[in-house]
Amino acid sequence: MIRKRQRNKFLLFIIISICSLLVLIGSINYLFSPSYKSKKVVEAFYTHEQSGDFADSWELLHPFMKDRWTKTQFMTDRLHVFVGHFGTETFQFSIEEGNKVKDWKMAEELQPFDIAYKFTVIQTYKGKYGKFSFLQEVYVAKDEGEWRILWDYN
């Protein structure tokens, strides 16, 4: 009787250990997945924007995006539009889960990315014109091994 209990406890220990190991492996795999890493870049970008740190958000843009404006133009425009026009200093945001997109192009004249991730970001503002939200599709693709932010200009 005692041997049977010990064997059952040992079997339960083995099952719990295997399940724990599988959860740990799955978690580690997810943390290193492209989907997770690309979402973290989107979170970082909008966290910088949320605090008015447009210089750091600009750093997370893909070079294709940086070709559209200088850093100073980007910072000035973001400040002018969101603080100047909307009368708001910050916002809340949410990010919907991303989808993997193959052969996506930022603009017709540019080469496609083999793989990009598409996220939907909703920014909610409270400003002088009341409460309003912006919905934006945000893409993330690799540039020299780093995930970077892109917007769709098609």
pLDDT digits (tens, 9 = 90+) for 80-93: 887 777 778 788 99
Q: Is residue 10 part of a domain?
A: no
Q: What is the span of the domain harbouring residue 55? A: 33-150
Please report which confidence band the pLDDT of residue 29 belongs to, taking 50, 70 and 90 as the band edges: very low
**Partners of 132 in the beta sheet?**
125
For residue 138, the tally of other CB atoms under 10 A from its CB is: 21
* SS3 state at 63: helix
Q: Is residue 26 part of a domain?
A: no
Write the CB contacts of 60 (distance below 8 Å, at least 6 apart in sequence). 41, 44, 45, 48, 148, 149
What per-residue confidence (pLDDT) applies to 22? 60
We report the CATH number of the domain holding residue 39 as 3.10.450.100
* Encoded tokens for 88: 């708001």
What per-residue confidence (pLDDT) applies to 99? 93
Please report which confidence band the pLDDT of residue 34 belongs to, taking 50, 70 and 90 as the band edges: low
What's the total number of domains in the chain?
1
Higher pLDDT, 106 or 129: 106
What's the mean per-residue pLDDT of the chain? Answer: 86
**Smallest Cα–Cα separation from 126: which of 50, 54, 74, 44?**
50
User: Are 147 and 115 contacting, i.e. CB atoms less than 8 angstroms apart?
Assistant: no
DSSP characters over 79-92:
HIIIIIIT--S-EE
Helix, strand, coil share of the chain (percent; to 5): 45, 30, 20
Q: Does the predicted model carry a pTM greater than 0.85?
A: no
Q: Is residue 7 part of a domain?
A: no
What per-residue confidence (pLDDT) applies to 47? 96
Q: Is residue 1 part of a domain?
A: no
What per-residue confidence (pLDDT) applies to 48? 95
* SS3 state at 24: helix
**Smallest Cα–Cα separation from 150: which of 49, 45, 61?**
61
